[in-house]
Structure 1
C-alpha cells in the first residue's frame, strides 16, 4: 500500500507540473498572438497550436482528476445501497470506466498508425502523430490514475464515507476555524 501511495504521489506531482507547464505555455502563446494581432501581424500557427494545447490540458487534467477522484460522481446514490450492492456497483462502475478508456487507448493507437506521415498544416515540421499521441497516452494515464486511487476509494466506500461530503466537511471545518480565529481576535 505504501508503494501505491508513493507512485500516486509521484504521478500526481508529474501531472501537476505538466499541467502548469501547458497552461503557462498556452497563456504565453495566446498573449503573444494577441499582441502580434494588435500590431498588425498574425501568426498562421496560433489557432492550431492553441487548440492542440487545450486538448492536451484536457487529457492530462482528466488523468490527474482520475488519480485524485475529482470527476463528477454520485456518492450519495452509491452509499445509499446496502454494503454488498454498493461494492458490486462500485466494481461495475470501475469496469465500465476502465473498459471505455482501454477502448479509447486502443482506438488512439489505431489513429496514430493512420496518421503516420502527416504533419500539421501551419507547422509542417510537426508530426500529427505527436499532437494526437495525447489520446492513447491520456487514456492510459487515466486508467493508471483510476487503478492507483481504487484501493482508497474502495476502502472509503466500504466504510460508507463519501468523497464528496468529506471534502465539503473539511472545507466547512477550515472556514469555521478561520471564522473562530477572527471572532476571537475581535473580542480581544
Structure 2
C-alpha cells in the first residue's frame, strides 16, 4: 500500500526535477546565447545579472531536491555505527537543527522581501528584486517540506541500521553488474 508520504514524495521529486532541469536548460541557453552575441560584437546587457540569479535559483531548488533524496553530505557511517539510542538521538537532533535553520532562513528571507520590493534589477528594471530573491523563503519552505516528507523512510532506515552510503554503493554495483550482463548477451 502506498502511503501519503510516498505519493507526496513522488510528486515533489518529479516537480523539483522538472523545475531544476528547466532552470538548468534556461541557464545553459542564456550562457550560450550570451557567448554567441558577445562573439559577434553585440553583448546582451542583462546576461550577467540574470545568469547569476539563475545560478542561485538552480542551487537553492537543487538543494531542496537533494534534501528530498537525502543526498546531502553527512556522516551516515558514523551514525549507523552508534548504538540505537544514540543513533536515534543524533537523527532527531540533526533534523531539528536542519529544519530550525531553514525555518529561520525562510522567515528572515521573507522579511527581506518587503525591503527589496522597492528595488529593481539594474539591467531589467521591470523586475523587482523581491521576485529574484523570493527563492530564499520559497526554497527554505520547500527544503523543510522535503525533509519532512522524506523523514519517515529515513527514520526507518536509521532504526534498521541501514547506512545510506553503503546502500547507494550496493545499488550502483547492482546496476553495473546488470549492465555488464546485458552487454555480454
Q: TM class, shorter-chain normalised?
A: over 0.9
TM-superposed CA distance for 1:181, in Å, is 4.2
TM-superposed CA distance for 1:103, in Å, is 0.5
- TM-score, length basis structure 2: 0.96
Residue by residue over 1:38-87, the C-alpha shift from the partner in whole angstroms, topping out at 9 and shown as x without a partner, is 00011110000000000000000000000010111111010111001101
Matched residues, number: 184
Q: CA RMSD in A?
A: 1.1
TM-superposed CA distance for 1:182, in Å, is 4.1
Larger radius of gyration: 1
**In structure 2, what is the Cα distance between the partners aligned to 1:132 and 1:182?**
48
Residue by residue over 1:142-170, the C-alpha shift from the partner in whole angstroms, topping out at 9 and shown as x without a partner, is 00000000100000010000111101101
* Equivalent in the alignment of 2:41: 40
**In structure 2, what is the Cα distance between the partners aligned to 1:174 and 1:36?**
43
**In structure 2, what is the Cα distance between the partners aligned to 1:126 and 1:25?**
18
* Equivalent in the alignment of 1:52: 53
TM-superposed CA distance for 1:9, in Å, is 0.6
TM-superposed CA distance for 1:180, in Å, is 3.8
Point out where structure 2 has 5 or more consecutive residues left out of the alignment: none
Point out where structure 1 has 5 or more consecutive residues left out of the alignment: none
TM-superposed CA distance for 1:174, in Å, is 1.7
* Equivalent in the alignment of 1:8: 9
- Structure 1 consecutive aligned stretches of length 4 or more whose deviation exceeds 6 Å: none
